[in-house]
Amino acid sequence: MIRKPTETRISRIEPLARLPVFFGLKGRRVIIAGGSEAAGWKAELLAAAGARVSLYAPDASEELLSVLTGLNDTAIDHIREPWSINVFTGAALAILATENDAEAQAFRCAAIAAGVPCNVVDRPAFCDFSFGGIVNRSPLIIGISTDGAAPVFGQAIRAKIEAMLPQGLARWAEAAQTWRPAVQALKLSFQKRRSFWERFTTLALSRPNDLPRDDDRNSLLALSATEATLSERGSAVLVGAGPGDPELLTLKAVRALQSADIVLYDDLVSRAVLDFARREAKTMLVGKTGHGPSCKQEDINRLMVSFAQQGKRVIRLKSGDPMVFGRATEEIDACRAAGVAVEVIPGITTAQGVASRILRSLTHRAVARRLQFVTGHDTAGQLPPDIDWRSIADQSATTVIYMPARTIRALADAALVHGLPRETPAIAVYNATRADEEVIEGSIASLPDIMGTKERNGPVIVLIGRSMKGAGDDWAALMPQASEDAALSKQNTAIAGSA
C-alpha cells in the first residue's frame, strides 16, 4: 500500500513539576521577611542577581546579623520592622522565612492580593515558585530542581555539572553578549546566523579557559560577512537515529537535529529521538514499514531535494544506521543529481544495540570470525532469492537477519537444508533497546515456532551463530574442531564395535 508523506506535530514536552524560568531582577525591589539565617542567604542570592532587597527583620538572629555583616552589601536594606500589607506594592518577588503556618498563609495572601509571586522557604504548599540548585557561569546559568522531592539528588546533579563545565565558560558567555549586536548588524538569515554561533561554540568549547580575543571576534564576523553575500543554500543530512533508545544518539546526530529546518523521519524512529529536534523544525512522517503502508522512495527523494533547494537544512532521520538497509544510496544519488550538498551521520546499528543489551558479542575469536548482515525480505516482502546459503551455513560466522518477521521460518528451513546445525543458537529481539523490548532465545530449528506462538508488534531482528550461546552453554562443544572431534570419535567407536 502507498501513502503520502505527512506533516506531523510531535509532542515534545512531558508534564513539568515546575516551570524553569529566570527572573530579570536588576534594579527591581524584592521583599524578604524573617530573622533567620535562611533569610540572609536568600538576601545574598537576590542581591547577586541585581535586586534591591528590602529585608524586614525586627528580631534578627545573630546568624542573620553575621551574614549581613559579612556581605556588607548596599543593595540589601535591613528594615527593623515587621512586614505589612503595604510593603508589597511594586515588588517583583516576595520571600518569607518562617516556621509559622499562620504567618505563611497571611504572607501568601498579601502577596497574591498585590500580584507578587511568593516563596516561603522550605514550605512548598505556600510557594508560587521555588529556588533550585544553581551552577553559576554567569551569564551562563543552569538551574536544577527536583520540586522538593530529593534535594540531595539535586545537589549531586549540580556537583556533576559543576565538574563538567570549566569556569572559563563564563567569559565566553560574556563575549556572546558583547558580540551579539555586531552579529545582528550583519542581518544574516537564520541558518547563517546559526552558523556563526555554531562556530563560536566550537571555538569556546575547544578553548574554554582562554580569554576570548578581538581576533576571534573579527575572524568569525568576517567569515559571516562573506557568507551574507552568498545565496542561501540548503543541504541534506542522513542521520542515524539508532535502534530506539535516545541515549544511543551520537553527539553529532543531536547537533544536526537541533539545527534542522525539516525532519523527514520513518515509522521506526523512536519518538523520544524526535524530542531532540529544534522546536521550530517542521516534522514529516515519510514512513516505510515492512509489509505495511509505505511512502514511495521517489516521493521522499523529491521532498529532500525540494526543501534543500528552498535553502532548508533537511534531516533525513533513519532508524539504526543510514548505511545499513536504509536506502541511503538512492537518497544520496538524488541529492547529488540535483546539486544538493549531502552528508551522512552514522548511527548505532540495531545489531550493535541488540548485542549490547543481551550481552553477546557479535564476534568471537574462537567461534565467530566473520559477521554478516542479511535482509529478511526483498522488495516484494518475500525471502530474497539470491541469499548465499553457503555463507549462512558457515559455522564460523554470526549472521544478523534484519526484518524477518514473516520469512523467518522459510529462512531457517533453507539454512538447515544447506547444512547449518539445528542446535545453532538463535535470538530474536523485538523493539530493540526500547522500553517494550522483548528477547526470544532458542536454536535455529526452534526459533520460528517460538516466534509464532503469538502476534507481536514492532521491528524484529534475528541473530544466528555460535557467539549467541547462552551463559550456561559449553564453549568447547560449540567450536567447529570440537564438533569434528566428536563426530570422529563416534565413528571410531562404531568401527571398533563392529570389529
The catalytic residues are 266, 288
Give the cell for residue 453: 506462538
State the DSSP string of 160-207. Answer: HHHHHS-TTHHHHHHHHHHHHHHHHHTT--HHHHHHHHHHHHHHHHHS
Which of 299, 276, 460 minimizes the C-alpha distance to 285? 299
Sheet strand arrangement including 341-345: 6-8, 282-285, 262-265, 313-318, 235-240, 341-345
| Measured distance CA(86)–CA(92) in Å, rounded | 14
Helix or strand run (H / E) with residue 150: none
Phi and psi of 144, rounded to 5°?
-130, 130
Residue 230: exposure state from Cβ atoms within 10 A (0-12, 13-18, ≥19): exposed
| Measured distance CA(301)–CA(328) in Å, rounded | 10
| Measured distance CA(384)–CA(361) in Å, rounded | 27
Cell 535502534, residue? 243
| Measured distance CA(201)–CA(206) in Å, rounded | 8
Which residues are within 8 A (CB) of 265 and not within 5 positions of it... i.e. 6 or more apart? 241, 274, 283, 284, 285, 286, 317, 318
149 CB neighbour count, 10 Å cutoff: 10
- Check if the beta carbon of residue 292 is closer than 8 Å to that of residue 381: no
What Å distances lie between residue 443 and 35, 137, 240, 472, CA to CA?
73, 57, 31, 14
Phi and psi of 215, rounded to 5°?
-60, -40
Helix or strand run (H / E) with residue 123: none
Please list the residues that pair with 238 across neighbouring strands.
316, 344
Give the cell for residue 50: 541585581
Which residues are within 8 A (CB) of 109 and not within 5 positions of it... i.e. 6 or more apart? none
What Å distances lie between residue 487 and 366, 477, 483, 493, 498, CA to CA?
19, 12, 6, 10, 17
- Check if the beta carbon of residue 32 is closer than 8 Å to that of residue 42: yes
> Alpha helices of 343-470 — where are they, by DSSP H?
350-358, 389-392, 408-417, 447-451
